[in-house]
Structure 1
Amino acid sequence: MNIKNILVPTDFSNCSEAATSFAIDFAIAQNARLYLMHSMKSSYSMTSERLLEKMMEDDRFKEVKAQPVAEIGDPGSAILRESKEVEADLLIMGNKGSSGGRNFLGSTTTEVITKSEIPVLTIPEESSYSGFDDILFMTDFKEGDLSALKEMLDWVELFRAHIHVVHISTDDNFEEKIKYRGFKEAANEYADYEKLTFERVVNPSFYDGFLELMEKRNPDLITATRYKKTFFQKLLQKNHTRMLGYEADTPFLSLNGEKYL
């Protein structure tokens, strides 16, 4: 992941302002250009443009190359369109955290994650950037996961993060064990990184297995590749309050798995 351009959509809510604050510090650390975007649903709004300009007056924007962007159209479509226009390498969006309950991500963020061709990093409302020391990389042993992991390692090596590759297995059968061992062996051959570890969590319930993992590690970032049926979608399938609380209060990076096939 070579991050040169970051797109940060905002609707001027506390949630998106927290994501913007996080993005500024992240862009400074990555020496990346920041595009601060607001989408107006139907027509041009001078108020929206002024609000963008007011946000850009924050002294911290002086420390990063930043540019305001105003778009007209449905927010989800406009964000996806603008990400291509500015050649963004990363989208940073806010989520509501555990206080948002079942709808902690919001419909626009969910749409963008589902359709984006580039990585999407969602930031909880109470989160602040202090680096990523411990990262979970969730895998279902999909074909593109190995390439996605290699790209992640190239990125996290910049700040020497520990990356923990995890598979949650609901069935402790021979085939699952072979897949896990094969993926681990291939990953170690594919990537030379001293802070790379592996774990297979076995639990009849995917959700309970996830809770077990989060309680044990409390990571700084959760990462998963997105395919037709993904870790991310599994998180949204059931209203599991405790599980959503853990995930919603941890930054989540979604990678487009199709890119790596």
Structure 2
Amino acid sequence: MEKIIVPVDFSEHSEHALQTAAKLAKKYQAELLVLHMLEMPEMVLTSTGKKQNEKAGFLLRLTEQKFAKLLDVGFLIGLKVTPIIKHFKMFSEVNDVAKENGADLIVMGTQGASGFKEMFVGSNTERVIRYAEIPVLAVKKKVMDVSFEVVAFACDFSEACIPAYLKAVKLFEKMNSKMYLVYVNLPNDKFKSSVEMEKQVAEFLMKACGNLQPMKNVHYTSDYSVEAGVLSFSNKIGADLIALPTHGKKGLAHFFEGSVGEDVANHATLPVMTFKI
């Protein structure tokens, strides 16, 4: 992990993200790219009038002052920090910045008390996740330890999830994390027998990595919803992080045969990391 992007809006949530990213940067000796999307009215961006140019200059100077204050904190001492200001157009630009700079991870803050649903539905973080080609780590409070020793990767073991799974395996191996895979068996028409689940997992692993060795880390749990099953399993194993696949521009994956990923993270207090399919 060499470069980490942290989009900030100078809110408390983005400060949590910056602190988390700083801990990761210190742990892996990575560079921090602190990104602010400066939202300017279209008329300011397109107009050539003197007053409009003065207004644009004022907004830019104000942002630079806020940036300087944000970055003047003790937990950034000793780190290589590169501030980046981009004029707001689309949140796909965060992915563009990531590609231009060869970033490995995006760290973002999100709403706190009401859960992660705001993050995934209509928020800036959700928009970034839709376009991001690299993993996105979303946090809604201060993360005290970024070792992420125990990770719960929620997946339905469909072929579509193989790219996300392989990305997760590669990253968590580098982080020396123990990754457990979990399948939530649901009642009624979504129910699968033990034989059916094991067969699906075996086919998935053979296609993904050519062997069945990871089966020892696969767990099955039964619950009334995917959200309840994943959160219960994460608590059971003492997970530090929940990982999820995402369909990119289509939003979070409708994995587990119809359940939406944001339902899984709706009440999560743990950090959530997404991997694009």
Task: Give secondary structure in 1 for the equivalent of 2:82.
Answer: strand
Q: Normalising by structure 1, what TM-score?
A: 0.81
CA contact (8 A) 1:15 1:96 kept: yes
CA contact (8 A) 1:9 1:93 kept: yes
Question: Counterpart of 2:184?
Answer: 168
Task: Give secondary structure in 1 for the equivalent of 2:197.
Answer: helix
Task: Give secondary structure in 2 for the equivalent of 1:63.
Answer: coil
User: Is 1:230 paired with 2:246?
Assistant: no
CA 25–205 in structure 1, closer or farther in 2 if over 3 Å, else same: closer
- Cα RMSD of the aligned pairs, angstroms, is 2.9
CA 200–33 in structure 1, closer or farther in 2 if over 3 Å, else same: same
CA contact (8 A) 1:26 1:129 kept: no
CA 191–69 in structure 1, closer or farther in 2 if over 3 Å, else same: farther
Structure-1 separation of matches of 2:6 and 2:180: 27
Pairing partner for 2:153 from 137, 154, 157? 137
Question: Counterpart of 2:26?
Answer: 28
Pairing partner for 2:73 from 40, 54, 58? 58
Shift of 1:132: 0.5
CA 203–184 in structure 1, closer or farther in 2 if over 3 Å, else same: farther
Shift of 1:217: 2.8
Q: Summarize deviations over 1:153-205 as a string: whole Å, max 9, x none.
A: 33323443211011112212353341024335666755978x96111223343
**Partner amino acid, structure 2, of 1:111:** R
Question: Counterpart of 1:80?
Answer: 95
Structure-2 separation of matches of 1:59 and 1:95: 23
Aligned length: 248
User: Is 1:182 paired with 2:203?
Assistant: yes
Query: Matches of residues 215-226 of structure 1 in structure 2 within 5 Å?
Result: 215-226=235-246
Task: Give secondary structure in 1 for the equivalent of 2:260.
Answer: helix
Q: Which structure 2 residue ranges, 5 or more long, are not aligned?
A: 41-55
Q: Look at both structures and tell me which one has the larger radius of gyration over its CA atoms.
A: 2
Q: Summarize deviations over 1:33-72 as a string: whole Å, max 9, x none.
A: 1100111111442111111122222233232211001111
Task: Give secondary structure in 2 for the equivalent of 1:45.
Answer: helix
Structure-2 separation of matches of 1:76 and 1:129: 29
Pairing partner for 2:270 from 247, 250, 261? 250
**Partner amino acid, structure 2, of 1:179:** Q
Structure-1 separation of matches of 2:7 and 2:271: 16
Question: Counterpart of 1:17?
Answer: 15
**Range moving further from structure 2, 94-103 or 136-145:** 94-103
**Partner amino acid, structure 2, of 1:206:** V
Task: Give secondary structure in 1 for the equivalent of 2:179.
Answer: strand
